[in-house]
Structure 1
Amino acid sequence: MKMFDAGDARIHYRVDGPAEGAPVVFANSLGTDMRLWDPILPLLPEGLRIIRWDKRGHGLSSVPPAPYAMGALIRDCERLLDHLQVRDCLFVGLSIGGMIAQGLAVKRLDLIRAMVLSNTAAKIGNPQLWDERIAAVDQGGIESLADAVMDRWFSRDFHRTPELELWRNMLTQQADDGYAGCSAAISGTDFYTPTSGLRLPTLAIAGSEDGSTPPDLVRETADLIPGSKFHLIRRAGHLPCVEQPQEFARVLSDFLRDTGHI
Structure 2
Amino acid sequence: MHIADLGDVQLHYRVDGDPDGAPVVFANSLGTDLRLWDAVLPLLPAGVKLIRYDLRGHGLSSVPSAPYSMGTLIRDAEQLLDFLDIRDCMFVGLSIGGMIAQGLAVKRLDQIRALVLSNTAAKIGTADMWKQRVQAVNQNGIEPLADAIMDRWFARGFRASPDITLWRNMLVQQSAAGYAGCCSAIAGTDFYTPTSGLRLPTLGIAGSEDGATPPDLVRETIDLIPGSSFSLIRKAGHLPCVEQPAEYAALLSRFLDDTGHIAKDT
| TM-score of Structure 1 vs Structure 2, range by shorter chain | over 0.9
1:153-172 to structure 2, matched below 5 A, reads 153-172=153-172
The CA distance in 2 between the partners of 1:244 and 1:61, in whole Å, is 27
Which residue in 2 is equivalent to 1:185?
A: 185
The CA distance in 1 between the partners of 2:192 and 2:6, in whole Å, is 27
Aligned CA RMSD, in angstroms, stands at 0.6
SS at match of 1:109: coil
Which residue in 1 is equivalent to 2:8?
A: 8
1:31-180 to structure 2, matched below 5 A, reads 31-180=31-180
By how many angstroms is 1:8 displaced?
1.0
Q: Report the count of equivalent residues.
A: 262
SS at match of 1:157: helix
The CA distance in 2 between the partners of 1:60 and 1:245, in whole Å, is 24
Which residue in 1 is equivalent to 2:228?
A: 228
Q: Which runs of 4+ in 1 moved over 2 A?
A: none
Greater displacement, 247-256 / 4-13: 4-13
The CA distance in 2 between the partners of 1:174 and 1:71, in whole Å, is 22
SS at match of 1:123: coil
SS at match of 1:25: strand
Aligned partner of 2:183: which letter?
S
Any stretches of 5+ residues in structure 1 without a counterpart?
none
By how many angstroms is 1:17 displaced?
2.2
1:245-256 to structure 2, matched below 5 A, reads 245-256=245-256
1:25-36 to structure 2, matched below 5 A, reads 25-36=25-36
Percent identical among aligned pairs is: 74
SS at match of 1:19: coil
The CA distance in 2 between the partners of 1:124 and 1:146, in whole Å, is 19
By how many angstroms is 1:140 displaced?
1.0
The CA distance in 2 between the partners of 1:204 and 1:245, in whole Å, is 16
By how many angstroms is 1:47 displaced?
2.3
SS at match of 2:139: helix
The CA distance in 2 between the partners of 1:207 and 1:19, in whole Å, is 31
By how many angstroms is 1:18 displaced?
2.6
Q: Does 1:219 align with 2:258?
A: no
1:143-196 CA distance string (max 9 Å, x none): 011001000000001111000000000000000000000000000000000000
The CA distance in 1 between the partners of 2:213 and 2:53, in whole Å, is 22
The CA distance in 2 between the partners of 1:142 and 1:169, in whole Å, is 11
Greater displacement, 236-245 / 1-10: 1-10
The CA distance in 2 between the partners of 1:233 and 1:17, in whole Å, is 25
TM, length-normalised to structure 1: 0.99
Which residue in 2 is equivalent to 1:18?
A: 18
Any stretches of 5+ residues in structure 2 without a counterpart?
none
SS at match of 1:52: strand
1:84-126 CA distance string (max 9 Å, x none): 1100000000000000000000000000000100000000001
The CA distance in 1 between the partners of 2:85 and 2:50, in whole Å, is 13
The CA distance in 1 between the partners of 2:177 and 2:211, in whole Å, is 23
Which residue in 2 is equivalent to 1:238?
A: 238
